Amino acid sequence: MLIRVLFAWGALLVAIAVPAKADPIEVRAGAATYIVDPATLQIDARDAQNERIPLMRGTGASGKVGVRQDGASWFWMTQEGQAVQIRAEGDSLHISVAGKPNTQWTWAMGRVSEGTWIVPDGEGMAFDVNDPFWRSTYNRNRCMGGTTALSFPAWAHLTNLRSVTYALDDGFQSKLCVQDADGLQANLWHEFGVGSEKLELLIRLGEPDPLAPALFYRQYLKEKGRLQTFADKNVKDMGRLFGAPHVYVWGDGRGLNFLDDVKALGIDKLVISYDQDPRTNRHIVGPDYLRKAHALGYLAGPYEAFDNGQPEKTADMPSAIWGADLYPSGCLRDAKGEIVVGYGNRGCYMSSKAIADHPKGFIPAKRYAAHRAGGASQVFVDVDAFGTFYDDFSSDHRMNKAEDRQNRLKRLEMGIKTFDLVQGSENVTAWSVDVAHYSHGTGQAHTIAVWPLLSDKRFNGYWPPDRPPVYFGRFTPTAEEARALFGPADRLPLFEAVYHDDLVSIDRWEFSLTKVAGLERLRYARALLYGNPTIWNLDRKDLGIYGQLLKRAYADFQALHGVNSPVALTRFEWLSSDRLVQRVYYADGRVLTANFGSTSWQGIGPQCVKAVGLRDGDRLICPPSLPAQ
């Protein structure tokens, strides 16, 4: 309705001979004045010192502009047909752009020559504008989806004087793109369509805070009534989650003796996930395993997925089997009517609408029910929360991306609200955080590190299935790969600053703590600093090797963060010029300092973490060395 109204009055303004050029609009918000040229959509700001700061470059639009002011809001139409509204919202400038369906919009941020881009690719990245490493990495345009790579849709440009934060109300059908052009430059891309009819962007000048986009976005969610905590997603076993390491079990790790081995280490909390293949009847985690795990205080449940369909006789995972009445008829089809081939060229991507409308009942509900009946207390649902959505052009189950998103939200919500399960998913981001308790993958920067490595032969290998090398093999990265994966000077806890008291975020399941050679102690320290549990792939053999390391990781996390429920992460600081000494503040008064450098800093050794404000006194924790193999 809003779009129709805006276009209607836009047409009227053109008809009544508006001026060829409108004067710049000045909007006062907080201590800044935002200056908008309605003819080009160039936006600048003046701060309290009257310095002019470029925020958005003009889009190149020109021609007649009819500006109408209604109270504290301004409206006009661009020559290309977009309806624009601007207003002050608190101490921010709010811009709304409504476009014609199936059109794209690209808008560049102001050109920068220094400073740092603060971007929530995964947990959070700091890209120095002139860093040769990042300029080389972004030598071509790389885009981060607003519901995929970006863990929440807000970012900032940071200098010693200020932060300029950009935040979207919703990242759906938007991307943040970065490319080297005499330093790293950024632009925003958006596709108008169903569910993405409007691009709503907020811009705010603030203090030079590394957490600026995270703290702004959290406050925005709070003001809109959209900020949840764990208490809003309560299920009966949720108290077992916080403080628990996460383990994928393989081979004899799915036997009862494995549970005895873990308990003998003194580990009272654990989240156990596993694959199953009921067709071969091998290594099935049955009700006896689940009952014992639950009695020991652990969460345990299967890997589940609803996105892939394959022929029953050749399917490589049971979740890809949908029955003859749904596969292949339930496959997604593209605009040409062709089946959309599934991930890794396996089968097809299943249509969430075909699954939802299946006349013989909702299969995800049946699977959830079976997991619960078998004794599962938690389930990991792959892919669904990742944020990639599809149009389905099948005449039998036509669907747009907005409908696909809603279908995924509904079936994820079902696991929590209907079946009372602790639930995780892959790379949970802002759009899906309300329907998950934990996320596997938020710790990684997918755009620059994960996807290239997962296709690298040095990293991959799924045979033998009891100890797949992709999970059990050691990987030795190059110096460039190590920096892209886990370089501490380039990372900061942006996602935690928004959602630490709402979601447990962990590294991807391919990145067991012992996977990447030479980075184990660094990752151990980072997990303690950010309050993230560690993740492992184990059978009894590797538990025998790494059991004491697992025990230490559990005990050290408990010592610094407790095991009850998390509190908000409120502040972050770089304490050294190389950004390798970092400090994090929590809402309950705890202050943690980590030294990721190679020499001691004020009594804190390399890769060590000091915590003050603990109930039982200050602690200094240095990660143990990797055990000999």
Residues 264 and 167 in one domain: no
Q: Is-contact 118 156, C-beta < 8 A?
A: yes
378 within 8 A of 285, measured Cβ to Cβ: no
On whether residue 90 sits in a domain, the answer given is yes
Among residues 452, 597, 583, which one has the least CA distance to residue 529?
A: 583
Q: At residue 485, what are phi and psi to the nearest 5 degrees? A: -75, -50
61 contacts: CB under 8 Å, gap ≥ 6:
39, 40, 41, 78, 79, 80
Distance CA 103, CA 198 (A): 11
What are the pLDDT digits (tens) for 460-519? 788 888 899 999 999 999 999 999 999 999 999 999 999 999 999 999 999 999 999 999
Asked if 345 and 387 touch (Cβ cutoff 8 Å), the reply is no
Is residue 147 located within the same domain as residue 104?
yes
What are the distances in angstroms from CA 82 to CA 61, 300, 366, 478?
10, 51, 46, 47
Could you tell me if residue 628 is inside a domain?
Answer: no
Q: Distance between CA atoms of 370 and 376, rounded to whole angstroms? A: 9
SS3 content of the chain, % helix, strand, coil (to 5): 25, 30, 45
Residues 276 and 217 in one domain: no
- Residue 547 belongs to some domain of the structure: yes
Domain count of the chain?
2
Please report whether residue 201 resides in a domain.
yes
Q: How many Å apart are CA 94 and CA 27, to the nearest integer?
A: 10
pLDDT mean across residues, the chain: 93
DSSP string, 341-357: B-GGG-SEEBPHHHHHT
Residues 102 and 211 in one domain: yes
DSSP SS3 for 427: coil
Q: Could you say which of 199, 223, 247 is where a domain stops?
A: 223
The token duo for 570 is: 């409120």
Q: In terms of DSSP bridges, do strands 246-249 and 271-274 run parallel, antiparallel, or are they unpaired?
A: parallel
Q: 180 or 627: which carries more pLDDT confidence?
A: 180
- Is the domain of 217 the same as that of 242? no
Q: In this structure, what CATH number is given to the domain that contains residue 56?
A: 2.70.98.10
Q: What number is the average pLDDT over the span 206-233?
A: 97
Within a domain: 82: yes
Mean pLDDT, rounded, for 384-409: 97
pTM, 2 dp = 0.94
How far CA 342 is from CA of 307, 310, 358, 397, in Å, comes to: 8, 9, 20, 18
| 629 in any annotated domain | no
Per-residue confidence band for 233, with pLDDT thresholds at 50, 70 and 90: very high
Residues 257-275: tens digit of each pLDDT: 999 999 999 999 999 999 8
**Judgement on whether residues 255 and 180 belong to the same structural domain of the protein:** no
Give DSSP secondary structure letters for 473-489. Answer: S-B---HHHHHHHH-GG
Beta strands at 271-274 and 32-37: parallel, antiparallel or unpaired: unpaired
326 within domain boundaries: yes
CATH number of the domain to which 351 belongs: 3.20.20.70
What is the pLDDT, as a whole number, of residue 64?
A: 63
Q: Per residue in 555-593, pLDDT tens? A: 999 999 998 889 999 999 999 999 999 999 999 999 999
* Both structure tokens of 625: 């060395």
Q: What SS3 class is residue 253?
A: helix
Residues 206 and 238 in one domain: no
The span from the CA of 124 to the CA of 467, in Å, is: 32
Domain final residue, candidates 201, 223, 245: 223
Confidence band for 200, pLDDT divided at 50, 70 and 90:
very high
pLDDT at 1: 42
Judge whether 626 lies within some domain.
Answer: no
Closest CA to 228 of 493, 413, 491: 413
What burial class does residue 498 get, using C-beta atoms within 10 Å of its C-beta: 0-12 exposed, 13-18 middle, 19+ buried?
buried
Burial 288-317 (b: 16+ CB within 10 A, else e): ebbebbbebebbbbbbbbbbbbbeeeebeb
Query: Are 196 and 234 in a shared domain?
Result: no
First vs last C-alpha separation in the chain: 66
Contact between 212 and 163 under an 8 Å Cβ cutoff? The reply is yes
Let me know whether 248 and 178 are in one domain. no
DSSP state of 49: T
How many Å apart are CA 107 and CA 233, to the nearest integer?
37
Q: Write the pLDDT tens digit of every residue in 117-176.
A: 999 999 999 999 999 999 999 999 999 999 999 999 999 999 999 999 999 999 999 999
pLDDT at 316: 87
CA distances from 452 to 26, 233, 485, 499 (A): 45, 35, 11, 27
318-339: average pLDDT: 96
Kindly report, residue by residue over 17-72, the tens digit of the pLDDT: 334 467 899 999 999 999 999 999 999 999 988 899 999 999 876 556 789 999 99
Statement to judge: residues 32 and 16 lie in one domain: yes
Residue pointed to by tokens 């509190």? 567
Q: In the prediction, which pLDDT does 381 show?
A: 98
pLDDT at site 462: 82
Q: What residue has token string 């600048």?
A: 44
pLDDT digits (tens, 9 = 90+) for 284-301: 788 999 999 999 999 999
**Phi-psi sector, 218: left (phi>0), alpha (psi -120 to 50), beta:** alpha
Residues 106 and 201 in one domain: yes
Q: How confident is the model at residue 279 (pLDDT cuts 50, 70, 90)?
A: low
**Domain end call among 207, 223, 239:** 223
Domain span holding position 488 = 230-621
For residue 147, give both structure tokens: 């519901």
Residues in Cβ contact with 226 at an 8 Å cutoff, skipping those fewer than 6 apart: none
Q: Which residue has the tokens 């694959």?
A: 275
pLDDT, residue 21, reads 62
Same domain? 356 vs 242 = yes
